[in-house]
Amino acid sequence: MKNFDLKKVATELGYLNESIGVNLKDLTFNTVVRAFNDQYKNIQFTRKQPSGEEGPYYRDAVSFPNANDSLTTVADEGSFEKWKDKTLSKYGNVQINLAPEADNWFDKVKIVDDKFKKDKSGFMKGKQSFIDKERKSGRSID
């Protein structure tokens, strides 16, 4: 008999859209890899990790949000620790939602924090204001 994964089938049919909530201080790269078990399979190369040992750098990694409306690709433990340290220093021990079943690649990781949302919103408004001024003056933004 084939191995039947009821949770996977229920998720694919839209009955489950689970997300995992965790405080940033408790989040580890291993947790990320386990949560996104459909990703982190394609090793692009290896490089030295924070532990001092060689470790994989994944081609099929997940992107984590930044307050400046950009995303950081978390492809190995080193990139994860750098993003985590930067986020902790700016926003503290915020709540992180990991959503492996999110429809869009950019919705797979969310930061649940009012200050982060406010900073991101302010950055986006400033960017839109710049674009509007450039268009109004007849310049291209391409």
- The predicted-structure confidence for 38-60, as pLDDT tens digits, reads as follows 999 999 999 999 999 999 999 99
pTM score:
0.78
Determine, yes or no, domain membership for 140: no
Determine, yes or no, domain membership for 137: no
Rounded to the nearest integer, the mean pLDDT of the chain is: 87
Determine, yes or no, domain membership for 27: yes
Q: What is the pLDDT of residues 69-115, one digit of tens each?
A: 899 999 999 999 999 999 999 999 999 999 999 999 999 999 999 99
Determine, yes or no, domain membership for 21: yes
Q: Residue 94: which of 113, 70, 120, 121 has the closest Cα?
A: 113
Q: Which residues constitute the domain of residue 68? A: 14-112
Determine, yes or no, domain membership for 120: no
Q: Residue 12: pLDDT above 70? A: no
Determine, yes or no, domain membership for 35: yes
